[in-house]
Amino acid sequence: MGAPPQSRRDSSPPEGGSEEGDPVYLSPRSAGGDAEGRGGQSDLRRKDAEALQRYPGVRSAHTYEASWYHNATFVFPLLAVIIAGIVWLATGSGEAGGAAIFFLVVTAAMLPVVFITWQRQTTAVIVHEAGITALHSGLERLTIAWDELRSVRRMETMGNVRWYLDGAGEEHIVVEGEIAEREQLLDSARRELECRGRQGG
């Protein structure tokens, strides 16, 4: 077997546009695991599940359980629109109507921000025999080969905990709280680090 592939990015545009409307389904590999009983019990988006076929020896697949519309910069103004709209319809208050229009404008203004943020979001993390890969809608964002994995570190910002899988140079994969079965994923990365540390020693 040859050396594990080097870290790589896929900059090609997605085929068929965004998959926000694609159904989420359970991939056979993530549902049953492999012969050794491994494999994440994660409901993968369709394009992410199809991408598993590109990676030999998949051990587990972990989906991002949130979606684009869970972004707080979009949800809060939208809720304000709904509440102010209900008050306006119920009372005929001009102030409530004005507030509804204001928050509707804010919601519309936030849509480009939400879209850009979503395009950068990892929608699945795949653990396989060659390394660990971050996907967005089936497209590879980054692969860190096992021999390039340098650390698994925890960072907390305003109560939000994220884990970073650090590769060569500045490359890293962010594992957020919304990633399914996050601890299983992190344990796999730690085991590889320990194993390669012993081999190096």
| Cβ neighbours of 65 (radius 10 Å) | 16
- The per-residue pLDDT for range 2-48, each reduced to its tens digit, is 444 444 444 343 343 334 433 333 333 344 444 333 444 448 888 99
Q: What is the pLDDT of residue 198?
A: 63
In whole angstroms, give the CA distance from residue 196 to residue 135: 25
Q: Which residue has the tokens 């972004």?
A: 71
pTM of the model: 0.65
Q: Residue 83 is encoded by which pair of tokens?
A: 């509440």
Q: SS3 for 168? A: coil
> For the chain, which ranges sit under pLDDT 50?
1-42
Which residues, at least 6 apart from 64, have a Cβ–Cβ distance to it below 8 Å? 121, 122, 123, 124, 176, 178, 179, 180
